[in-house]
Amino acid sequence: MTVARPLDGRRALVTGASSGIGEATAIALARAGAAVAVGYSAHRDRADTLVDALRADHSVKAVAVGADLSDAAAAGAMVDQTIAALGGIDIVVNNAGITRDNLAVRLGDEDWDAVIAVDLTAAFHVCRAALRPMLRQRFGRIVNVSSVSGVIGNPGQANYSAAKAGLIGLTKSLAREVGSRDITVNAVAPGFIETEMTRSLSGAVRAAAVAAIPKGRLGTAAEVASAIAFLVLPESAYITGHVLHVDGGLAA
């Protein structure tokens, strides 16, 4: 007997899905039955590999959609590609992000602009494009991936922290704008997570990070993905404008 999955019939776009938290989120949504558009910027090969895995392992429709998210038109077009490929859009996870770390006094304008463009402005463009069909269909679920850095700040990450804090403001404003149409907009704020980004940290920096985390370890991409999936399930329909911390207690 076929068992219904909670996201059967839903169509999702996950940006930055070719690795890390985005990849784990695409898997979590597919496991729950959603068709998934795997958003990528530079790694088409990884996106295609993930698409094949989603189809084979979870029997869902999956496609790869590429865009340079620093380009406003391309970010919005990613939503159009998703709709064309999947027949609509019900769920958006804005996960794509970059870092260009440096102390503020040494931070170049180009590094500030690049991080704001990808980590914040692109999410706005994706949200704006996705909200149009969501408003018409009177349903939608948006999750923006912020960071503990956007909540408590982090030395050497003025640009990244500002972008991630901006995502929280965007999330709360949109939640108030569209809540009456059964569209929820939430955020997750991961702490130190085992990804390619954190694996590049020096041993000393990693040890200091672990020492500051009450749980005493880094989190996993799958743990963040589970939180994201929770926020788009039918049981979470009354949660909106919320920032769910997945940080092992770092910002407690």
Q: Distance between CA atoms of 207 and 108, rounded to whole angstroms?
A: 29
User: Is there a contact between 24 and 225 (Cβ–Cβ < 8 Å)?
Assistant: yes
Mark whether 40 is an active-site residue. no
Out of 160, 174, 213, 218, the active site residue is 160
Tell how strand 193-194 and strand 140-145 pair up: unpaired
- Within 106-238, strands assigned E span 140-145, 183-190, 193-194, 219-220
Which residues have a Cβ under 8 Å from the Cβ of 58 and sit 6 or more positions away? Answer: 27, 30, 31, 33
Which residue is it, tokens 């996993």? 220
List Cβ neighbours of 78 (8 Å cut-off, separation of 6 or more): 13, 15, 37, 39, 65, 66, 67, 69, 126, 129
Residue with the two structure tokens 């940080």: 247
Q: Could you list the active site residues? A: 160
